[in-house]
């Protein structure tokens, strides 16, 4: 039988104490953390980064197939990914949650265990937040704070014509994981006796439930004196993000289908589901990889990193935003690429 402690026994402040007591301060800049009205962060000659994301049950996650520990981990990671996308180092987060009385203390412990693991892995302090009862499912709001030297942060709007377009890791896996979980959920709801068939699908399920923020890429930049000309993280699919970089930098682009990095296991899963892997990479979200542009003369600096692929280049605005396919065709990249592409 599950061990269940009612949250009402702890009370709100007892709950906060309970949930945060294992968080140790990791940064000397964290002067005041949890337990006061606000957190105090000390910075000297650095610039502070702030970002926030709201995650809602039924919209951003489905508790039917998302373990709470993974959810806590992911809620932090998606925010840290935004900080890395500024070429910055995350240092603190705040986390606010709303939850109904269907959640036990143990359930929230699980959630915070995931939060804790993500914080520890990235050297980040949890410095505040808010908890609330909710009659509206599980609600998560995370704000992440980071720091960067004034001359190092990288915006979306500063790409130049001719710059190489690069992406980290591989794309489309998280969307295929989602497709799999939604399929298994449907089967389970129709017949609860059928066991989920997740064999050999660890990779895509992991991409969905336990995404990583690319700290390693930012560290690689610092170590090799690489300064991207523009950067953002890939949360809504390659198409959407390339269009953001183009729009904000007032440029066009060329993307080569054959250069888009797709993991073999994602490719296999796509074929199994009857989906085009390229379409999954272009339009599936939640990969949390980085897309950035680089001066051509910096190309040699990145060739040693197998986690970085050059997928195209920035073009004149008048040249439009185009995908060149393996078959030699040219398509317009659109935010609704999924539909356009499936015609």
Binding-site member from 20, 27, 89, 92 for a copy of itself (CB under 8 A) = 92
Grouping H, G, I as helix, E, B as strand and the rest as coil, residue 234 is strand
Return the DSSP state at 156: S
Q: How far is the CB of 275 from a copy of itself (least distance, A)?
A: 24
Q: How far is the CB of 141 from a copy of itself (least distance, A)?
A: 4
Q: Which residue in this structure is represented by tokens 């610039």?
A: 47
Binding-site member from 34, 71, 77, 85 for a copy of itself (CB under 8 A) = 85
Q: How far is the CB of 193 from a copy of itself (least distance, A)?
A: 29
Mask 29-58, x = binds a copy of itself (CB under 8 A)?
Answer: --xx--xxxxxxxxxxxxxxxxxxxx-xxx
Q: What is the largest CA-CA distance in the chain?
A: 66
Return the DSSP state at 319: G
φ/ψ (deg, to 5) at 255: -120, 135
Question: For the purposes of burial, counting CB atoms within 10 Å of the CB of 125, is it exposed (0-12), middle (13-18) or buried (19 or more)?
Answer: buried
Radius of gyration for the chain, computed over Cα atoms and rounded to the nearest angstrom: 21
* Residue 122 lies near a copy of itself (rule: CB under 8 A): no
* Residue 7 lies near a copy of itself (rule: CB under 8 A): no
Binding-site member from 18, 121, 155, 295 for a copy of itself (CB under 8 A) = 155
Helical segments of 85-214, H only: 105-122, 173-190, 202-209
Residues 6+ apart with CB under 8 A from 272: none
Q: How far is the CB of 81 from a copy of itself (least distance, A)?
A: 8
Subset of residues 176 to 215 that bind a copy of itself, contact rule: CB under 8 A: none
Output the six-digit token pair for 31: 């002067």
Q: How far is the CB of 338 from a copy of itself (least distance, A)?
A: 15
Q: How far is the CB of 297 from a copy of itself (least distance, A)?
A: 25
Task: Select from 233, 208, 207 the least CA-distant residue to 218.
Answer: 233
* Residue 233 lies near a copy of itself (rule: CB under 8 A): yes
Instruction: Tell me the window of 61-69, 123-131, 210-218, 280-288 that interacts with a copy of itself (CB under 8 A).
Output: 123-131
Subset of residues 54 to 83 that bind a copy of itself, contact rule: CB under 8 A: 54, 56-60, 82-83
- Crossing angle, helix 173-190 and helix 264-273, to 10 degrees? 40
* Residue 286 lies near a copy of itself (rule: CB under 8 A): no
Task: Select from 53, 79, 56, 52 the least CA-distant residue to 233.
Answer: 79
Instruction: Tell me the window of 135-143, 164-172, 193-201, 255-263 that interacts with a copy of itself (CB under 8 A).
Output: 135-143
Grouping H, G, I as helix, E, B as strand and the rest as coil, residue 17 is helix
Q: How far is the CB of 265 from a copy of itself (least distance, A)?
A: 28
Smaller CB separation from a copy of itself, 278 or 283: 283
Q: How far is the CB of 69 from a copy of itself (least distance, A)?
A: 21
Contact between residue 122 and residue 213 where contact means Cβ atoms under 8 Å apart: yes
Q: How far apart are CA 2 and CA 204, in angstroms?
A: 30
Residue 82 Cα to chain centre, angstroms: 7
Mask 235-254, x = binds a copy of itself (CB under 8 A)?
Answer: -------------x------
* Residue 144 lies near a copy of itself (rule: CB under 8 A): yes
Return the DSSP state at 196: P
Which residues bind to a copy of itself, rule: CB under 8 A? 31-32, 35-54, 56-60, 82-83, 85-86, 88, 92, 94, 96-98, 127-137, 139, 141, 143-146, 148, 150, 153, 155-157, 232-233, 248
């Amino acid at each position: 039988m599950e061990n269940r402690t009612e949250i009402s026994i702890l009370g709100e402040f007892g709950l906060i104490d309970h949930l945060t007591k294992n968080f140790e301060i990791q940064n000397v800049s964290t002067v005041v953390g949890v337990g006061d009205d606000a957190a105090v962060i000390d910075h000297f000659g650095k610039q502070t980064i702030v970002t926030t994301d709201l995650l809602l049950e039924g919209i951003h996650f489905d508790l039917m197939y998302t373990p709470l520990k993974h959810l806590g981990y992911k809620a932090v990671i998606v925010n840290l990914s935004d900080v890395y996308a500024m070429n910055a180092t995350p240092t603190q987060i705040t986390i606010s949650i709303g939850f109904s009385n269907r959640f036990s203390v143990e359930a929230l412990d699980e959630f915070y265990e995931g939060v804790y693991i993500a914080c520890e892995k990235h050297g980040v302090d949890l410095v505040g937040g808010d908890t609330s009862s909710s009659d509206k499912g599980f609600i998560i709001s995370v704000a992440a704070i980071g720091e960067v030297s004034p001359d190092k942060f990288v915006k979306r709007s500063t790409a130049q014509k001719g710059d190489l377009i690069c992406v980290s890791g591989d794309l489309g896996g998280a969307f295929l994981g989602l497709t799999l979980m939604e399929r298994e959920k449907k089967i389970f709801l129709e017949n609860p006796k059928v066991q989920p068939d997740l064999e050999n699908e660890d990779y895509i399920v992991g991409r969905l439930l336990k995404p990583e923020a690319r700290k390693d890429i930012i560290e690689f930049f610092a170590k090799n004196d690489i300064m991207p000309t523009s950067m953002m993280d890939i949360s809504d699919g390659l198409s959407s993000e390339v269009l953001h970089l183009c729009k904000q930098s007032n440029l066009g682009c060329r993307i080569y289908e054959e250069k888009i990095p797709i993991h073999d296991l994602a490719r296999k899963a796509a074929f199994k589901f009857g989906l085009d892997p390229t379409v999954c990479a272009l339009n599936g979200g939640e990969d949390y990889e980085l897309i950035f542009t680089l001066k051509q003369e910096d190309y040699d600096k990145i060739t040693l990193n197998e986690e970085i692929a050059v997928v195209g280049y920035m073009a004149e605005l008048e040249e439009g935003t185009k995908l060149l396919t393996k078959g030699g065709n040219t398509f317009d990249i659109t935010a609704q690429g999924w539909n356009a592409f499936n015609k």
